[in-house]
Structure 1
Amino acid sequence: MRLEHVSRATRPFSSASPAIDRLCREIDDALAAAHGAPRASFGQRVRLALQRAIGDPGMLRPDQRVSNPQRYCRHLLAADPFDRYAIAALVWEPGQASPVHGHRTWCGYAVIEGTLEETLYRWDAAEHRAVETRRHPRESGAVSFVDAGRGAIHQLGNPADAAARAVSLHIYGVAGEQIATHVNDLLAA
């Protein structure tokens, strides 16, 4: 993770809403404060920023809540011009889920609408596969942050028996153009 400070005055950033602009400023501040600070402090700041962002009902436009009937849909909301992070809304129809994965970078997410189910795994080095450890619901308002690596393997999805779609907000420590290719470390379960 690059931790250089970015001046807001020279930051050429255009985003979807004032809530996303505020979230970007808070992530910038968290990155600036992370230099020399304990790693937990960065994660706490990201979680708090996500919690504040999802409290704004005007955060997403209707077109940023559009789903895809074939697979969950990712809408890029903002990309840091210095390639330190990207922010996306993910829209999940009932029965849609991510593959089982770890992360190649830090990431945080918050559930905006609906309830997602998160399945957690541990890495079994002897078997070279992820082993399920537990499942739990992630209701609207739930917030999570993890560092890169196989210490936080999971699968996230909208249960098949859900009554409606779910929407979540994600921040990844990658450049915007890398959001589909450099975030997930896909693993066999």
Structure 2
Amino acid sequence: MQLEHVSRPTRPLPPASHASRSAALEQLCREIDAAFAAADTGPHASFGERVRLALQRAIADPALLRLDQRIGNPLNYCRHLLAADPLNRYAIVALVWEPGQASPVHGHRTWCGYAVIDGTLEETLYRWDALEHRAIETRRHPRARGAVSYVDAGRGAIHQLGNPADAAARAVSLHVYGVAGEQIATHVNDLLAA
């Protein structure tokens, strides 16, 4: 990935009120709530698969995000907090990536899922080397519009996401994390040396 710099995201903005949420975002919240309910009642499709399908359906709606939820920051990738579960089980954010912006290399302290809404991100995958105490790059691949991913917590899914420096435009992705809304900046990423 050709990046100008690894950026630190801006602090998430307060979530949109229920009245200003799109129908697609409201439906996504209902589907994630249903995934939690199904996980509590016995064998069904896995929680991760339900989240993946919910993300896939949500990004199919062009009215998912308002224009102000697609605004970027020239210095860092930008987080827009879209919804925070009142039971603190999850938070939903839109990330806006200008060309050349990328996350640091990280694993996850919680489950998470993401989907690419606009543009193409590049994802670099890593494996954890316990002897060297660092992440070792294993492969890179583009994540085009419509790509959806889900991972559980831990160092089994270390990656870096970014919008390549030579990209023609910003990229936008939708993320769901298993944390309370106010914990997005502090309880999601497990930053690692590569």
Cα offsets for 1:104-155 (capped at 9, x unmatched): 0000000000000000000000000000000000000000000000000000
Measure the CA separation in 1 of the matches of 2:20 and 2:30. 11
Structure 1 segments unaligned to the other structure (5+ residues): 1-11
Indicate yes or no: 2:77 matched with 1:34: no
Match of 2:88 among 83, 89, 101: 83
2:38, 2:44 within 8 Å by CA — same for their partners in 1?
A: no
Q: Structure 1 residues 158, 39: closer, same or farther in 2, change over 3 A?
A: farther
Shift of residue 15, structure 1, vs aligned partner: 5.6
Tell me which residue corresponds to 1:121: 126
Measure the CA separation in 1 of the matches of 2:87 and 2:102. 30
Shift of residue 95, structure 1, vs aligned partner: 0.4
Measure the CA separation in 1 of the matches of 2:31 and 2:88. 16
Structure with more relative contact order (C-alpha pairs < 8 Å, separation 6 or more):
2
Indicate yes or no: 2:152 matched with 1:147: yes
Shift of residue 17, structure 1, vs aligned partner: 1.0
SS in 2 for 1:188: coil
Tell me the amino acid that sits aligned with residue 59 of structure 2.
Answer: I
| Paired residues, number | 178
**Segments ≥4 residues shifted beyond 6 Å:** none
Q: Structure 1 residues 38, 137: closer, same or farther in 2, change over 3 A?
A: farther
Measure the CA separation in 1 of the matches of 2:178 and 2:26. 17
Measure the CA separation in 2 of the matches of 1:34 and 1:183. 21
1:74, 1:90 within 8 Å by CA — same for their partners in 2?
A: yes
Q: Structure 1 residues 188, 15: closer, same or farther in 2, change over 3 A?
A: farther
Report sequence identity in percent.
81
SS in 2 for 1:161: coil
Q: Structure 1 residues 128, 167: closer, same or farther in 2, change over 3 A?
A: same
